């Protein structure tokens, strides 16, 4: 088995191939972008098309949920990093304010 194209790292769907590529019938795309077998007389079957569309919709919904979870995790990380940067900026401002008002520091006692 191999991973299908478009699968995510968290959800890998296997692609099953029953015949080598040379033996598979030619595929053409219909108006909706779905792949159909040229030799199959049932390509105009509305129930088959509906089934394929439902499968495609389910896969797209799963992909959207995965992307949403990824984006949510990224925003949480970004928020945490923004807070760290703000803290560091405040520390830098405090250090520069202490250095500007104190003038020259006296030498350490052991000097």
Q: Which residues of 24-54 are buried (b: 16+ CB within 10 A; e: fewer)?
A: eeeeeeeeeebebeeeeeeeeeeeeeeebee
The model's pLDDT over 7-43, given as tens digits with 9 standing for 90+, comes to: 444 444 444 444 444 444 455 555 555 555 554 545 5
Q: Does pTM surpass 0.95? A: no
Would you state the pLDDT for residue 17? 43
Q: Residue range 70-78: average pLDDT?
A: 98
C-alpha torsion sign, points 13, 17, 18, 24: positive
Task: Read off the pLDDT band of 50 (50, 70, 90).
Answer: very high
14 phi, psi to nearest 5 deg: -75, 145
Would you state the pLDDT for residue 110? 83
| Mean pLDDT of all residues belonging to the chain | 74
Tell me the domain boundaries of the chain: 70-99
């Amino acid at each position: 088995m191999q991973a299908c194209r478009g699968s995510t790292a968290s959800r890998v769907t296997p692609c099953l191939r029953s015949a080598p590529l040379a033996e598979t019938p030619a595929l053409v795309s219909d108006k909706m972008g779905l792949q159909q077998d040229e030799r199959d007389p049932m390509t105009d079957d509305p129930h088959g098309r509906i089934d394929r569309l439902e499968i495609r919709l389910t896969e797209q919904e799963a992909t959207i949920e995965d992307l949403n979870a990824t984006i949510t995790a990224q925003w949480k990380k970004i928020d945490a990093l923004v807070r760290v940067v703000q803290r560091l900026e405040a520390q830098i401002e405090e250090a520069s304010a202490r250095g500007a008002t104190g003038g020259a520091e006296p030498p350490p006692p052991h000097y």
